[in-house]
Chain A
Amino acid sequence: MKVHIDEVNCSGHGRCAKYAPNVFRLNDEDGYNADRGQTIEVPAGEEANAKLGVKSCPERAITIVED
């Protein structure tokens, strides 16, 4: 599974990393997603958490690009 984090629409709510800390990393300094603008691989076994992280984003800034 792969997810893409939108570079512009991520606004630092931090919900993704709360639900899926092993998938989404926050930038230490400002708390925005550290992989903004990137497509990242979801580690095996973390798919359900990743989906919750995607769902909880108030910006809809994360999309599943490959299920």
Chain B
Amino acid sequence: MNDGESRNDTYPRATREEMIERFGRDLVNDFDLDDPRFNDQFNETLNYMVRKCPVAHSQVGRGYYVLTTQDDVRAAAQNWKTFSAAKGYMPNRPDGIPYLIPEESDPPLHTRWRHKLNPHLSPKVCAAMDQPVRNDVNELIDRFIEKGECEFISEFGALLPGWAFFKNVLGVPLEDLPALVNGVEEGTFAPDLDERARHFSGVFDYLEKHLKWRSTQPARGDLIDTILAGVTYDDGTEAPWEHKVSVLVDLTFGGIATTTFVMASALHHLATHRDQLQLLLDDPSLIENAVEEYARYFPPVVALGRTTTCDVEVAGTQIKEGEFVMLGYAYASRDPRHMDEPEKIDVRRQGIPHSTFGVGPHRCIGSNLARVELRATLEEWLKRIPDFHVKEGTAPTYVTGYLRSMRSLHLVW
């Protein structure tokens, strides 16, 4: 595992007194992703836990573990035989929603689908979406530039990833986007688990209807047609209809719910750090690498879960078979054992080994498209609105669980 870049930094384990004083709870034995203090002290908690809590446990609901170091997260993410995705990625998963494929499945079923889906989101295919995405960026900016201000999330951030995905990949009507974005957001963050299930069901129903309609239309050779064509599993059976619906739902969740956070965080960072803004204005060629650094530092996915298929030990903690274990991607991306000053945003950082797009066979299938969206957003925004600030008297608001999302960001120029 040692790549020559690893540092031998060792940190003393967290003490109960210190954790209660700084974070109001024992993070090692009584962690809670949904704790409002985790939302408020997000960066501080990540930086602390990645150093001092390699394994945390939560007593919420059925309970779950969280792994935080880069080496442990990577090892578990790659070891799908021991850390299975087939029981879902959400902690205390709401009852009654079907498992998402391929995300909530293991090889070989997972592999069959990824082989078919990957070509629709390859670097080459996504590079061809660059110009259409830039056009969308400019169309959105046109709507509010004369106003001199915008609420970035509702007027841009929540729309662009949906436009990019719906127009270029799915071909779903744009007017249905707000309801779908809301369904995914509430399905993820609603405090009540039944409510989460209800919102997710709405998304399933909508997308199933769309898939059914497309099955009556002439083929377009797009992603939807690939899903409709399906795959043959290793036992010779064909993927059933409900698996196809599940694939479409899985892609939609990923396509509209995550990139928003990175672009909003990046613009907030630039609005509040004039030197950083000037750096990118003076040398826009830094933006491509800046996208990588912003993705590392502003992770929309805090952690995704696996279920152990046998007893296993991680960093001295014994974990029994059948336990739910979260892979702390957001923590692993700022592990000081693998990079200098991880708590600092440095757009010149080279060779950033972050895990914002996940690690292992479940690597975010939309990572190439997300990069296109982020780069186009930053490049076009800085060209048209090079001088912008956070509106006086406002501050961005966040919500955090196993995902992290920004709810509002008021910008003025």
Contact = CB atoms under 8 A, between A and B. Distances in A.
Interface stretch (B10-18, B203-211, B361-369): B361-369
Contact of A9 (B78, B124, B352, B368): B78
A8 B357 CA distance: 18
Nearest to B73: A58
Contact of A60 (B3, B118, B367): B3
Contact of A52 (B1, B350, B357): B350
Given A55-B353, A60-B74, A31 B359 contact: no
Interface string B116-146: 0011011110000000000000000000000
B202 interface: no
B393 interface: no
Main secondary structure of the interface of A (DSSP, over half): loop
Interface size grouping (class) on chain B: 20 to 34
Interface of A: 9, 11-15, 17, 19, 26, 28-32, 51-60, 63
26 contacts: A12-B118, A14-B367, A14-B368, A17-B123, A19-B350, A19-B351, A26-B123, A28-B122, A29-B118, A30-B119, A30-B122, A31-B122, A31-B124, A51-B351, A52-B350, A55-B5, A55-B351, A55-B353, A56-B352, A57-B353, A58-B74, A58-B353, A59-B74, A59-B360, A60-B3, A60-B353
Interface string B318-351: 0000000000000000000000000000000011
A12 B363 contact: yes
A57 B70 CA distance: 12
Interface of B: 1, 3, 5, 74, 78, 115, 118-119, 121-124, 350-355, 357, 359-361, 363, 367-368
A59 B70 CA distance: 10
A31 B115 CA distance: 11
B350 A13 contact: no
B78 to A, nearest CB: 6
Contacts of A11: 359-361, 363
Contacts of A32: 118
